[in-house]
Amino acid sequence: MTEKRKIAPILMAEDDLDDRLLARRALNENYVANPLITVNNGEELLEYLHQKGKFSDPATSPKPCFILLDLNMPKMDGREALKIIKEDENLKTIPVVVMTTSKAEEDIFESYNEGANSFITKPITFIGLVKVVKALKDYWLEIVELPLEDGKKVLHGNGRVEAPLGAEENRFYE
């Protein structure tokens, strides 16, 4: 049985206003229905995820379907925020896609070691960003099945919710 649910937002932690605006445009170019919520640094990211301060209303600060995380931000950088997210029992299942200007092998290794689900070097052109966003949309919003907080239903990035299949049901014959 399928029921409709509010579409989960994409949460982007990015201190550069131009990068946030370009990401929003690239999402629009790819017809992504999920709202983009942006925060400026790791501290705001954690406030949002813990629904504290200006993010205390669960209606306006819902659990994101995934996080786009820049590594180089003021106050608390993405490396520290990633470590805290992946150590938190209530947050560790949220996919984190590191999207940064860094190509440093150390950043790539450290990000995956701390639990990042993907590491993407920011494209230098808008067309490149549109292609990356399309790949993110296809994978995280259309292919992957993500758990809801109650663990009893599966949240699809496009907002569709279904009860998980039992052992006797076969996915290939739905």
DSSP string, 120-162: EEPPSSHHHHHHHHHHHIIIIIII-EEE-TTSSSEEETTSEEE
| 59 CB neighbour count, 10 Å cutoff | 6
Domain-by-domain residue ranges, the chain? 8-144
Residue 149: the pLDDT is 58
Residue 148: the pLDDT is 62
Confirm if 140 and 8 have CB atoms less than 8 A apart. Answer: no
- Highest mean pLDDT out of 50-59, 107-116, 141-150: 107-116
Q: Tell me the pLDDT band of 144, cut-offs 50, 70 and 90.
A: confident
| 12 CB neighbour count, 10 Å cutoff | 23
- In DSSP terms, 162 is beta-bridged to 2, 154
Answer whether residue 121 shows pLDDT above 60. yes
pTM for this model (two decimals):
0.81
The CATH fold of domain 8-144: Rossmann fold (3.40.50)
Residue 58: the pLDDT is 85
Q: What is the pLDDT of residues 8-19, one digit of tens each?
A: 889 999 999 999
Residue 59: the pLDDT is 84
